[in-house]
Amino acid sequence: MGWLALLEGDIDEAAGLFGDSLRLASSLGAREQILICLVNLADIAAQRGQPVRAARLLGAADALREGIGYGPPDITEQEQRTRIADLLDENDPALVAAQSEGSLMNLDDAVELALSLASSQL
């Protein structure tokens, strides 16, 4: 449902739904689902004009993907990452640093960062 809300442009609804999904996935230890939620919430952060938070969440998602040995992003995620990249200046040193910081976050901190985005609205 979060994905549909995101496609319809209802960013606040999508954030809330992905937050709910992330809470459930986290409580179950479902790391692949946590990964999906992190990427979706990074997309929401980018759309809300929060590039540093988006970069941190992407860094955390990439580290989680590597840590669980999850394959490369599927077509949908690749398209989403392209949309995020269009919203972010990937050459901005602050965003490069933020993505690096995100990749060093432990999973609990990454989930907390993502949930703080999910619970806030513009």
Digit-coded pLDDT (tens) for 39-74 = 999 999 988 999 999 999 999 999 998 899 877 767
Give how far the C-alpha of residue 43 lies from the chain's centroid of Cα atoms, to the nearest Å: 6
Instruction: Spell out the alpha helix ranges (H) of 29-70.
Output: 31-47, 51-68
What pTM does this model have?
0.86
With beta carbons less than 8 A apart as the criterion, state whether 44 and 117 touch.
yes
Domain range spanning residue 52?
2-119
Contact indicator for 44, 11 with CB cutoff of 8 Å:
yes
Which whole-number Å values give the CA distances from 57 to 8, 103, 116, in the listed order?
22, 8, 12
Task: Look at the chain and report how many structural domains it folds into.
Answer: 1
What is the model's pLDDT at position 75? 66
